[in-house]
Chains A and B, each alone.
Chain A
Amino acid sequence: MSNTQTQLDIDREKGNFRYDVDYEFDAGTGLNEKTIDYICDVKGEPDWIRQFRKDALKKFLEKPMPTHWASHDLENIIFDKIRYYLSQGGQKPKKTWDEVPEDVKRTFERLGIPEQERKFLAGVEAQFDSEAAYSNIKEAVGKQGVIFMGSTDALKERPEIFRKWFGKVIPTGDNKFSALNSAAFSGGSFIYVPPGVKVSHPLQAYFRINAENFGQFERTLIIADEGAEVTYMEGCTAPKFDTATLHSAVVELVALKGAKIQYITVQNWSNNVFNLVTKRGLAMEDAEVKWIDCNIGSRLTMKYPGVVMKGRRARGEVISIALAGDGQHQDTGAKMVHAADETTSNIVSKSISVGTGRATYRGLVNIPRHLKGCKNNTECDALLINTSSRTDTYPAITVRGTGNACQHEASVSQVSSEQIFYMQQRGLTEAQAMSLSVNGFVNDLVRQFPMEYSVELKRLIDLEMEGSVG
């Protein structure tokens, strides 16, 4: 397929619309102490958070851009032109869709969120720019003692749990963008699942950027207490703007003894979004943290979900699909830190590069000294669709001591022209054949997504492939 040229604009129109909204609160452009004071005042935050934000701002300004290893495209982010806080009336999310202001509600209706909620979700939070417009949890789930609320509310209403873990899995200074998030965060979810409670349906958050030149900095903290289980899904979209938009989230997961957390992301940002996200989970004894991550949109995504396996027999897993369309760079990967005996981790990453798209895998696996019986298995497969497509793989694996085992394998391939011809001979168009092949390539991973998401994923892949053959 090396001679087919891709068309530039990939149809991913689902999120590409925008209704005008009047913003009641706007911190203006640029980030400095005044911006932080404005955010703290509007949100009515306690002093310790104000201090936390200001310390983070210092770290953000000190830290250089990580361009010694990362894409130089980062230099195109003009931090002074970005708006750091925008909210349309009130910082308190509504509990019914009827209370949500009309112009915001119709956005989420068009994205199908209320419908999905009725069908299969245990709770939903819908964030519009800086604040959640809607947050609700099904009564039955709430009665089990499960807390699901915005982090803005949680730090005020549940400080005893929130403060214990906030910023503990990902320290402020972990990287430049975690520092940025720590300075400017607003929105995101807080979830606490009490011991032994298994939440049977997923909780969902939907992140919507509506404003141009905007930076969304949600902050999510999920704690599954001993033996608890929870699945969390996030979706995200933004309309297509001419200028860059920034999304920089921090997500911290804590799985206490025997708990299981599954975190599913379907990222479908428009092509103007810099998506620079820090995600990490802590897994205690016999606990499991699993990241299922699908990155389709954005201009540049940098995201390496991690698991620190701190307790014996803890398990970490990252399942990742990245589709880098024309002009996009999906720089994704995984980080596995083995900090206790008999911990196991698994990474499966599949990427597809279309047109001039570039998919990069970066991995870190660390099994430090004096541990026994740790295992990691990593598989990275890249599929290149066009001659101008690019893929990179940069794993770093450190194993100290005997009694541990690590295995990393990566391959690069293209869709076989024989396979395409075979399907064409059976009457499929080239694009259909290509879609089938690509779907086949990721099929084993797509099946790990909940049904509703996997259908959506297939549709998105079909749309991407339509544009890839000419």
Chain B
Amino acid sequence: MKHLKIDNLHVSIGDREILRGLSLDLPTGQVHAIMGPNGSGKSTLAKVIAGHPDYTVTSGDILFDGESILVMEPDARARQGIFLAFQYPSEIPGVTIANFLRAALQARLPEGEELEATEYYAKLYEKMDLLEMPRNFTSRAVNEGFSGGEKKRCEILQMAMLQPTFALLDETDSGLDIDALKIVSHGVNSLRGPETGMLVITHYQRLLNYIVPDFVHVMINGRIVESGTKELALKLEAEGYDWATEPEAEAVGA
């Protein structure tokens, strides 16, 4: 079992502190969900783990199986096994999905070793079938002109191909209708297993009906204020986030 451990993490963008002492332990074999209102810092957490250059870690640490990854470049983190399914995936004009994924897989091979093309395509087609994607998808430029649903499916396709140790799914449900949500969830669920840990970031409980988490954390103002099992998500759905913000308000008042 491996662990992705976030330890008292403080993160700023410019002068603004967004994460204020966040801690979390995600072992492989588990799915954790992070829920929280807009602006609570959920997406920041995902991007910081992936090493986005806009954010500065002012204190705390991110440990991949006990080793800090803070000094690692984003591509090195990815090869280590961290995968971020972006909330807003970039369009990459002129680069086909097939070429893109091949480059990503090639980067994971030892130097001098070439990716085996037949195996690669066999695997690619298998995963595309799983996500109900037509074959001609591979020759389209990455995310260019994709619908919201296609973008999210493309993210999951990449996750399936790259087989990360830890996957961070940032608002993967946003912009999806119910059919697309089912397909995407099915894809994600098929990747669950003892070798993979997942962090599912979402604003709504809806996604968690399809990707059932082992643990749910509530994030407010850059911190986790409450953790529990999947029932916590239902409570949030029923009562909103107000109850969770109250202790904070009291603390300020006191």
Q: Do A and B touch each other in the complex, judged by CB within 8 A?
A: no
